[in-house]
Structure 1
Amino acid sequence: MLTLTDSAMSKSVSISNIRLYQFIREKCKIAVVEKNQATDDPSIFTQPKEKWVTMIVNNSFLLNLFIEDIDFKETCREEQEKLEKEKKRLDNNSVKKRPKCQQNYITSKTNHDNCHYHGAFVYDMNNHCKLTREQAQTMTQNVKLIASNSASGRSMELPKLIWDCCLGLYGIDPPCQVGSCGLPNEMKGQAIKPGQDLMTLVQNLFMNNQAAEKRTKDFS
């Protein structure tokens, strides 16, 4: 099937019997998987049939051309594996928000010690109540905004807020815990329903941190 041309300048290989090559190529393009026949009996299950073609090719040029031209049809399992692999690749390279520290991150570009966070809630020392991170931030910003718009220009006292986990001052002291992105260790292995908001789940966990709550009570 091959013609070898060897000149002083270069060597080239071409297919001499192109019709034979095309005949074999088209035969190998036939679907390799026969799907199951429809049946009314759910207990009957048969594996799909796979049709195989074995080719022995001695020439590397012909082998590579043959593989490229045939474009082998994939089985259902191979197609599913490819879709799952691509889905995982896109997921690993998409921007997400860490449920613990609420900072943006990309899974494929993060390290174990990239997540710095507080593992509890914020405590309002003046009103003796628990606050979420968002509530504490809103309260602090409101005070700053009122102070900046005050005609007298007097500064206002910021709310006395502390983190329950380490008694650190909110907005001043750095996070007390370092770890990998994702869910806290307390939630590893926990069944999570599809569509559940991870941020809310982690926030509820932190808001009910009993050890941190006891530490704050002892401190106050």
Structure 2
Amino acid sequence: MLLSGCIQAAPSGCRGFDADTVISLTVAEQFSSQGYTFCIRYLSLGAGQDEGDLSQGEANDILQAGLALMVVQHVEDPGWSPSQGSGQANGVNAVGNAISIGLPLGLNVWCDLEGIAENTNSQDVIDYCAAWYSAVSAAGYVPGLYVGANAVLSGQQLYDLPFQHYWQSCSEVPEVVVCGYQMVQSFVPDPVNGIGIDEDITQNDEQGGQALWLKMS
């Protein structure tokens, strides 16, 4: 069953957070009352959502608390080696898991690109990203790319990928040439409302592009 709400372009200057912890209705309401406007939660790498990753019930709680919602897929452990095949497999799993939660098509689904093994050829990273993008886009979701530490690619190589949506991590990462980022993450050292988070701020990129989230009407 599809989640209630509609896909919206995220206005510039909205404050949100990403978390690798289940968000209860009470906690979501706390964040909402403190001025947070959106939440980003996780899709599993494998086929089927793992315990601790986003469920339909949790997604409903987040939306009912007044927060907008987006999702990002987990990344392999640091030192992983990307390939076209793994990009295709992970993208297919991201789609299946998003559908199982009831996330409507047209939503940004983010690929987490970070922690790649040293001396990895940039073409392997490009092939991974292109395959992931193709799998997610073909299903009707809108792929986005989270650029984290050790992502290998330069700002030009990032821009040359098929993505139109980029999210800047709190690590030192290259600027995506021409378009820039639609969200910027910052590190939060202490728990907020009892959970660990990173904070995120939306912005229009240099070409006017915006992140796409799900929000209750």
Q: TM (normalized to structure 1)?
A: 0.20
Which has more strand, going by share of residues?
A: 2
Q: TM (normalized to structure 2)?
A: 0.20
- Which of the pair has more CA radius of gyration? 1
Ranked by relative contact order (alpha carbons within 8 Å, sequence separation 6 or more), the top structure is: 2
